[in-house]
């Protein structure tokens, strides 16, 4: 019994597609954000997989990139959730299909 790079990459790809489906189909803006977080996690998993399995002089680069992705994801989550709370105060809803102020 053994697992190789293909299995890990498959899990990453499936999780990315799940996140994409969540991000595109949820009505609630916070739900959309959850989909984005899932996609970021899937990408992190893929980066770590390549860092572990790929033939490379400096495999640590994959882990370094993951550190930056996590940092940017944290910043993005903080700002986006603050935006969601702010929109809720003004519009009493965070449904993405009802935030249509710019629609004529």
Taking CB under 8 A as the criterion, which residues in 24-83 touch another protein? 24-28, 30-31, 33-35, 37-38, 41, 44-45, 48-49, 51-55, 58-61, 63-64, 66-68, 70-79, 81-83
Phi-psi region of 92 (alpha: psi -120 to 50; beta: other; left: phi over 0): left
Rounded to an integer, what is the distance from CA 28 to the centroid of its chain? 16
- Under the binding rule (CB under 8 A), the answer on residue 88 touching another protein is yes
Largest distance between two CA atoms of the chain:
60
Residue 93 DSSP SS3: coil
- Under the binding rule (CB under 8 A), the answer on residue 99 touching another protein is no
Tell me whether residue 87 or residue 104 sits nearer to another protein (CB atom): 87
- Under the binding rule (CB under 8 A), the answer on residue 7 touching another protein is yes
How many residues touch another protein (CB under 8 A)?
75
Nearest-angstrom CA–CA distance, 88 and 43: 30
């Amino acid at each position: 019994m053994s697992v190789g790079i293909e299995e890990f990459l498959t899990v990453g790809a499936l999780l990315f597609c799940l996140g994409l489906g969540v991000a595109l189909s949820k009505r609630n803006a916070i739900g959309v954000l959850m989909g984005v977080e899932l996609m970021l996690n899937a990408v992190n998993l893929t980066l770590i997989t390549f860092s572990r399995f790929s033939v490379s002089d400096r495999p640590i680069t994959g882990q370094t990139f993951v550190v930056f992705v996590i940092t940017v994801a944290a910043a993005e989550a903080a700002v986006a959730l603050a935006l969601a709370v702010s929109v809720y105060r003004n519009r009493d809803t965070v449904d993405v299909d009802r935030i249509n102020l710019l629609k004529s």
